[in-house]
Amino acid sequence: MKLVRFDGWRVGATDGVKIVDLSALCGASEADWPPVAMNRLIRDFDTLRPRIAALLAGEVGVPLAGARLETPVPWPNKLVAFPVNYHDHAREMASTGLANIQGFFLKANSSLCGPHDAIELPDLPGRQIHHECEIGLIIGKTGREIPPEKALDHVFGYCCLLDITVRGKEERVMRKSYETFTPVGPWIVTADEIADPGNLDMRLWVNDELRQSANTRDLIVDIPNMIAITSSATTLHPGDIFATGTPAGVGPIVDGDVVTIEVGGVGRMSVPVVQGRRGHNVVFAKPYDFQKMPV
């Protein structure tokens, strides 16, 4: 099953042709603050699933093609990210700070945006801003100290995720937390539709150029162990998002580009890149030579 947020605030399910509105089932409304209706739907999904399936089978709904899709979970308790989690990416970045050594970090939730939003590049002369192709996973059950062998029981679903990054040696959290720096979508595919999350293909194009291609079997820290590591330190909650790491092939994006990501069995989305006028600050005032000092 595929769950979406659409047309501003509504929550729905799609069969790939239409969307049926589930807003009433999870208490979504335009006045919601914070917007956590999808979190509630994820929490209660096992109970609500028969009703959702009946609505998908019986309701006319609205055409998927005409809907504006939003980021599926705009208000997670945590947006967790794992750095340098593919060996080929470690080699291209000349990095020894692998995910199994460094652990996870957190991105600002306000960096989240959806498949119909543009990536807004901050005004940072002398800096490259790079794409990173990733698979996003959504937590479905509360848990702490989750062992690897039970970790997949806590996964609600999967989505496409882009981790946009200002290159430099400054703190990762700041370099990756500009608004629009985490496009997620186009929907959440429930975990039961993914036969083996340890064998998922993903690809990324900038315009028509294929830049990244990998499979989750090449992860340094696999999905079960990412969940185990994170939950050893913090309680996971329904709607928490994991950015699972990027493979080799990262590179710059500029105004006018279109970035397309595809995850096998999950979906595909294309987002435009626009140059913004905001974001300049003293931290990034000094130019950075990516070729001499990769990170």
| Residue 216 and residue 244 in contact, taking contact as beta carbons nearer than 8 Å | yes
H helices present in the chain, as ranges? 23-26, 37-43, 45-58, 87-93, 99-102, 148-151, 172-175, 223-233
The token duo for 28 is 């979504």
The pTM of the full predicted model, rounded to 2 decimals, is 0.94
H helices present in 140-198, as ranges? 148-151, 172-175
Tell me which residue of 39, 22, 120, 27 sits closest to 74, measured CA to CA.
39
List the chain pLDDT tens, one digit each, 295 residues.
999 999 999 999 999 999 999 999 999 999 999 999 999 999 999 999 999 999 999 999 999 999 999 999 999 999 999 987 787 655 665 555 566 778 899 999 999 999 999 999 999 999 999 999 999 999 999 999 999 999 999 999 999 999 999 999 999 999 999 999 999 999 999 999 999 999 999 999 999 999 999 999 998 899 999 999 999 999 999 999 999 999 989 999 999 999 999 999 999 999 999 999 999 999 999 888 766 544 4
CA–CA gap between residue 119 and residue 74 (Å, rounded): 16
- Using the 8-state DSSP alphabet, how is residue 44 labeled? T
DSSP string, 171-186: -HHHHT-STT-EEEEE
Phi, psi torsion values for 26, nearest 5 degrees: -115, 10
Residue 293 has a pLDDT of 44
Residue 289 has a pLDDT of 76
| Residue 223 and residue 151 in contact, taking contact as beta carbons nearer than 8 Å | yes
